Amino acid sequence: MAGALAGLKVVEIGELVSAPYTAKLMADLGAEVIKIERPAIGDIARRRGPFPGGRPDPERSGLFLYLNANKYGVTVDLAQAEGFELLEQLIARADVLIHNLWPPDMDRIGLSFDRLAQRNPRLVMTSITPFGLGGSHRDWRAEELTIWSSGGVCVLNGAGPNHPELPPLKTSGHPAGFQAGAHAAAATMGAVLARVRGGVGQHVDVSAQETLVSQNEMVFEYWPYMGVIANRLGRKPLQPLEAMECRDGWIFICCVEEHQWRSFVALMGNPDWANEEIFSDRLKRGENWEALEIFLREWVGQQTVLDLYRKAQERRVPFAPVSTMGDLLNSEHLKARGFFVEIEHPAAGRLTYPGAPIKYGAAPWQIRMPAPLLGQHNLDIFSGRLGLSRGRIDQLRSKGVI
């Protein structure tokens, strides 16, 4: 069976995470993706790792291998006129262009929707930038840490006024890039569907900062109405709502509703302290959390994670084990779902990758090929698709265009 997006042709100019992840989501559903990298250098992700065995190698970066499976890979110097002409030839045959070039770099090489739409009026072009293509911050350069901070998440993930000794905090990895990529994939497909109706393409402008700001949920209400920053270690008006340590790991305790609290108290064997007036309702439990926390941590610390989780679930109390990466890799549930997949790569060998978080009954998600080696498909694309002769390809290579 063909994938859901079989027949859709995508060109990607992407580095690190946001644009490559957008294109990956589409490639895994059957779209044909041609990834453009810089000659000799390639995508920055090739140098970021982690690397299997701890040995740095631009063909063995775990980050690159994951983000770029199912893609064809070519090298083009878009700053050279002959390189940009190759891009325009690819665009003339494509449905979608996805990129995450910095806006001043777009200006420098002449990458604009108006220019490309002249070659292909049906083109959908998705630009993923740190702060969007308009506004006073348009030309600001940003890395993952910058975007995470500017999106308001670092302060929420920090310690807050009650713990001034602990600064705002960013989680590891590239969460802003993945969030921007997921938003861009949905937005791109919306534009593709609009083209089906209207016949013409459009320019999609995705701000990585705004994708984070849009997910801050109720924290906006906390500040104007209560003057409170809803951060990781800030005081919560309702309790228990905390991660606590068991004998063999961590579990998240959530029982703010009265029926949940009563069920939890019964699970603990109805200890005398639970009848104290200061714990008699959820607001008082929040006000007196310092005292309640002592009792709960002592009891929870004597339990094992899975035993406590199962007993709480039987009583409809929403506890949740805090999974480590090892827990996830060995999860029987994820194995039963077929989430992890093995991919054979010519340089990295056979490795286990995260798979699809979704299932299609009639249009399967599938891995068709591993991430490309740098410039692996130059001949296939430039000769087989664009019709360039071997002599012309050698000439472009000697100039550093490809």
Q: What is the pLDDT of residue 353?
A: 93
Distance, CA of 140 to chain centre: 22
pTM, 2 dp: 0.90
The string of pLDDT tens digits covering residues 112-123 is: 999 999 999 999
Question: To which residue do tokens 């990758």 refer?
Answer: 353
Our CA dihedral for 213, 214, 216, 222, rounded to 10 degrees, sits at: 90
Residue 376: closest CA among 64, 99, 15, 71: 71
Give pLDDT tens digits along the chain (402 positions): 789 999 999 999 999 999 999 999 999 999 999 999 999 999 999 999 899 888 999 999 999 999 999 999 999 999 999 999 999 999 999 999 999 999 999 999 999 999 999 999 999 999 999 999 999 999 999 999 999 889 888 877 776 666 777 788 888 889 999 999 999 999 999 999 999 999 999 999 999 999 998 887 667 666 676 666 666 656 666 788 889 999 999 999 988 889 999 999 999 999 999 999 999 988 899 889 899 999 999 999 999 999 999 999 999 999 999 998 898 999 999 999 999 999 999 999 999 999 988 888 888 888 999 999 999 999 999 999 999 999 999 999 999 999
What are 211-235's pLDDT values in tens digits? 998 887 667 666 676 666 666 656 6
Sheet holding 124-129, edge to edge: 71-75, 32-37, 9-13, 96-99, 124-129, 203-207
Q: In order of start, what are the domains of the chain with their CATH numbers? A: 9-214+338-398 (3.40.50.10540), 241-324 (3.30.1540.10)
**What is the pLDDT, as a whole number, of residue 231?**
63
357 φ/ψ angles, rounded to the nearest 5 degrees = -85, 5
> What is the C-alpha to C-alpha distance for residues 28 and 138, in angstroms, rounded to an integer?
31
What DSSP state is assigned to residue 346?
Answer: T
Phi, psi of 34 (to 5 degrees): -105, 115
Beta-carbon contacts of 156 under 8 Å, excluding residues fewer than 6 positions away, are: 216, 219, 229, 230, 231, 232
